[in-house]
Structures are given as C-alpha cells and as structure tokens.
Structure 1
C-alpha cells in the first residue's frame, strides 16, 4: 500500500511537471525528464537531467518543493511506523520514546508519530530558513521576497536530504560562506539522524546513559563518518587546483567539511564534483552507499545496518558466541536482516553499473558513482546525468524509487514475517574462506 501510494504521487508529480506551465519554455518538458525529476524529488535524491534553476517555472519549482516535502514526511512517518511494528521489546503504547522499545501499535501512537514527524520537520526547516533568509537578503543583495522563497526551498531541500538547489551551480558560489553552508549541513545531518533518534534525544537529553542501542549506534557512527568524511575529502582535495586548491585555508576546511557531509545523502555541492580525484570519488561511493540512519530522510543501506555487520565481524574475530553492542546482546534476526539488505543492495548497484558499462561510453568510476548516487538517493554526480539517454534515465528513476523504499520495505517485511519451525535439521558446517 505504501509503495502504491508513493507511485500514485509520483504519477501525479510527473503529470504536473510535464505541463507547459511547469517549464520556462512554453513547449514544456518531456515526459521522461518530468518522470526523472519527479522521482528525484519525491525520493529525496537531487539528481537532475535539466537545470532546476533555468528549466522550471515558479509553478514547477513549487511542484518540486511539494514533492520533496511529501517524500520527506511520508518516508519518515512510514519508516518510523514500521520500526514500531517490527520491534518487540517493551510494551510502551502511549508514546514513541525509542526506535526499538514498542511492542504494539495503538491508534494514539500513530497520531503521535505523524504529529511529531510533521512538527519536527517544519520546526527544523523554519529554523534553517530563519538563518538563510536574512543572509541572502543582506549579504547578497537579494529582494526579501526572493530571499524568503530561496530560504524556504533550500531549508526543505536540506532537511529532507533532497539536494535540489535553485542555483545552476548548486552552492558553489557560497563555498566560503559559513552562514549558508553550515545551516544547510546541520539541517541535512539532523534529517539523516532519523526521527526516533531526534525524538529520544529531545525527551531524554539529560540521561544519555539510558539511550537505546539504536540511538547510541546512530550517534557514534554518524559522528565518526562525519569526521572521517570531512577529513578524507579535505586531505585528498587539498591541493587539487580545480576544487579546494585555490581557496584560503579557512575556506578549504569549511568546503571539506561541507562536501564530506553531503555524501551521507544530502546531495548539495560547494565544489565541482566532476573535477575531483578518482580516489575521492571512490571514498564518496562508500559514504553514499552507507548513507544515514533508519527512519530518516537520508538514503543508503543505513548506518545502523553497516554498524551491525561491523560488530558481527568484531565478535566473530574475537571468537564470541554472541554479538554485544553497548551492553546489550544483538538479536540473531537483526544480523540476517542486515546481511540481506546489504547483499540485495550490492546486487542492485553492481547489476545497474554493468548495464551502464555495456551501453554507454562512461568510465567505471563515473558509472559506479552515478548508480550509487541514484540507488542511495544522494544526488551527487560527476556531471554525466544530463548526457544520459532516455532508457538510462528510466533506469536511474527505477533505482531511485527502489533505493528509497526498497531497503526499509525489505527489512520490515523480513522482521514481520515470522514463522515458527517445529523442528530443526541436522547441523553441518561448510568451509568458509
């Protein structure tokens, strides 16, 4: 039902963007380009095949904004409710205090979740816009009405990790401006943490020791990847004359942090992605594939999925019989679900990359970057998106749709599908390694 609902909204968005009124050109936009843009907006990706700033009219920009907001709130609500449905821990029915402590789902819980998601989303977007609007109006001599629209659009795009910008060069003109880059980065990070984590921090911020395993994993892993991504991009691009090289030291640090944050699914860029080193692309591939937290606006296989497998490896190397994380034992079902999500995602990425390699002239690093960006709903590109043929645009649209709804749907379906086996088969071990 959820997938059908998103498909219906996608069809409506495609129709509206294909209307002549949605484009600056009176002839309108092709159906394939409208489908690609609508999918990218609804699935919070940010990849574009036409220039967002110059191709779409005010009506078209409005449609894109609504699709982003619907996609963000819809996915947050959907993912959070699924977390509540599949978690069988403690019977807390009145409020969602954590992503893993609800046994049953009552009507009051649904209302509370939806209300909380909407209010939290709108509040963070409003605070981000409150910083962007005066900065754009005063520092860049923008009319207040235009600055208000730009502030609202980019705050919504940032919190929902959509990556759409109303400037043709994304945010490259603001590469050294912390009053533009940092609010957008912070909003993207908060959206990527996920609603259950934000909700629990807000209610129990004075008792971090009592936070759940999910919240602790998300915060520790997110901090590590944010710091690691920023250091990685800054170090590899420090002397690149086409990216960070010409900038002053303080602007290099700001741009490195900003661009190291964006692969988690935000999709904005303040430096030229196409001019980066191939090694930087590969590192960003990894960051994009991992993504953000479950029940958040970020994409990827989710940082909790990656962390679970990392702890599984750690326990196996140490020879431990169970996987323990932050003083809690990890359920065996979660390990199998994480492995399933990762392997299915790898299969989707590899298969699509092979299709690109045999049907285009793009290099492997370009094709892999584009496919991962689409499947993990990031929105960064090496500059080849606009050169794609219609079949490849449709393929990327499918990847964005599956990448956004697929992992969480698969994970929840696996968790909800419980079968009690009344017998066990004889045990045997194959050779591993």
Structure 2
C-alpha cells in the first residue's frame, strides 16, 4: 500500500482575556483595558502559533462565538520582550567587579568562557540561562555563545526543545585572547559554516556570524566573516563596537587605515540588514548615518555600560541621524536579566547622560524599544515583538499588583504612561506571571 502521511492536527483557536498592550507600526501604544487575544495553534505538537485577532473583549468575542477563553482578571498581556544582546557563557560572572571592560574580560570573561569546551557544562548553563530569560519575560534573544562549537550546539538544542525564537553563533576570535578561548582563523570559519548548515532557520532558530570585537579578530578572520555573511545573506551578524574609550583607542592602533572603529566592520563587509552592534557609545554622526544607510542597528545595554563605566548611549544623536536601536541586558556585563531594570537604566541615561541632559524617554517608547523596535532591528518586524494579527504568539502575562508597593502605585496611575512607568521603576521578575512561547506556557 502507498504510504499515507499522517494528517496535521486541525488548527485550534484559544482566547486570552485581560488588559492588553500592543503597538501600531510606528510604535505608538494601543491599549485595551478589557481585551481579548485570539491565538491559533497548529502543527505537530502545537509548535506553531499565531495571533489571529485582538481588540476589545466584546468586539473580538462576537467574531468568535463559542471560543474557549482563559481569563486573567487584573492582569496585563503584553508582547514578550526581545533582548538584543547578551552572553550566555557569562551567566556565572554577573556582578564580578573590575576596573573596566578590558580588565573585566581578562580577569573574568575569558576564564569563564574557557569552560564551554565541555559540552556538559555548556548544556547545564544553557538550560539555566534560558529559564532565566523566560522567567523574566524575554521570549526572543540574540545571544553570544563562546568560541567553542559545543557551546552553540548546547544553546541551540536547549532553545529548540523549548520552542524559543533564538539567534546565536560561535564567537570568532583568533588573536589577543588566551589559550582556551582563541580559535584558529580558518577553522573558526569552517565551524561557523557547519553550524549554519545544521541550525540556521531550523524552526524558530537563527545563526549569527559572531566576531567578538575587532581587536580579537585578525584582518583575515574579519574578511572571512564578511564573505560568510555575503554567502548566507539571511543570517544575522553580531559584534561589539565603540563600547569603551580604551578599546576604541586600541582599535585605532590596530586598524590605522580605518576611518573609525565602525569602519573596520564596514571594510570587512559586516554592515548590512540583520547586523546588530552592541553599545555604539563612542560613535560620531558619520558612523550613525552609515548604520542607518546599511540597515544595521545598535543594541543599547545601559546596565552594562553603567556597571563597567563605559559611557552613555546618545539617544538624541540616534534620533537625529535615524540610527535604529533596541534594548539589551548584556548579561554578564549587564547586571540583570530583567527588562524592567534595563528600561529603567535607559531612562536614567536619557536623563543624565546626554549632551543636553534632561531627555525623558516616554515609558511606552522604552517598552517599544524592548519589543517591536528590537524586532525591527533583527528584521523580524511583524513576526515577534508585537501582538498584532499575524505575529507569532509570544506573549507575557503581567501582574501590576505583584508587590504591595507596585499595587499601591499602579492603582493611582492616571493613564497608560503612568501605569507602564510604575512597572518599569518598581518591577522585576515578580511582575511576570507567565511567559508564553508560541502560545504555550514556558513553565
């Protein structure tokens, strides 16, 4: 008898009733105090889920008679957060003291990352790391692994088992780093291509070509990374740029022919859409314009920059030049997995760290840059980072009364901006009742 493939299970609709926060295409908030989010789940194992309808409870329910609904009284449903830059091999060195970025790398980072040649250690940390992300409401992340292919395998495997949308890659670093984390120029590129072939675009996973930063890659390795990016144009690129003044001076010495630190990457073919560069503090307007023209984006990491004394991201200059940016924790230089801590630190930087201090970033804008704008930085607008029809069903359920002080303050909120700001200032992981990954509870 001819083989008959098993039938895919019929799609299932389910509703979630609560207050709902989403955004329009320009990032303006849309809010329903009594909303209904309708999710369609399909595919074997229910691993594919998309939003099919959203709006006021009364109007949406009328379009779906008989819909099964989970009610979340007193709760707020929002898009899952997107973390644009963090290092899973640095999970165990959060809060390690150092005099600045370069001493921190030598004293803590490289020794910690050397352990990720051990597949068992990599798998244990990967599981803990992803649990921390979802516990804090992060449902998509762009992540550095270590220079060891084993570290990438472990993280991809853990993310695939959870159904997460996650992008990661093997760190490329063939110089100016110690034995145990330094890779071979050619072998590092070969390993990267093999990992692309195995994991890139497997369900919700993606590969990022990952030079650590210009000082730790030779010209040959940077050029090879650019050639790899050109051959695989739908991959991502991630690295660091202009984080620290000492690092920036070092790059000037190593690459005297380049106009700027960013120009080092441009010359190697590493500026394009889907390229995300962490920090971008010590840039000029020509660099910012170049990022805009190339479609690249900045991952702004305020807790890390404050902790390591690196400097302040210039939000005013980014707006003036049209440079795209989104928010990131930068764990372990960053001090928390919490998007609320990241947004609050970004607010502080806006108030104090600009050329003209006193900028007040609107609470809804901070939220947008940790969701929809971050999705756009990844080339995933309309896919994640929002709760509009057609988006993947990654969403979080928040409790504005999670702590006594939060409950007292949110009860007095006069409008949406006050409500969001109270959660940013007073919130942490206790706010997150549940993270849903492709509509499934992460726990």
* Shorter-chain TM-score above 0.5: no
Tell me the TM-score normalized by structure 2. Answer: 0.30
Q: Give the strand-richer structure, 1 or 2.
A: 2
Tell me the TM-score normalized by structure 1. Answer: 0.30
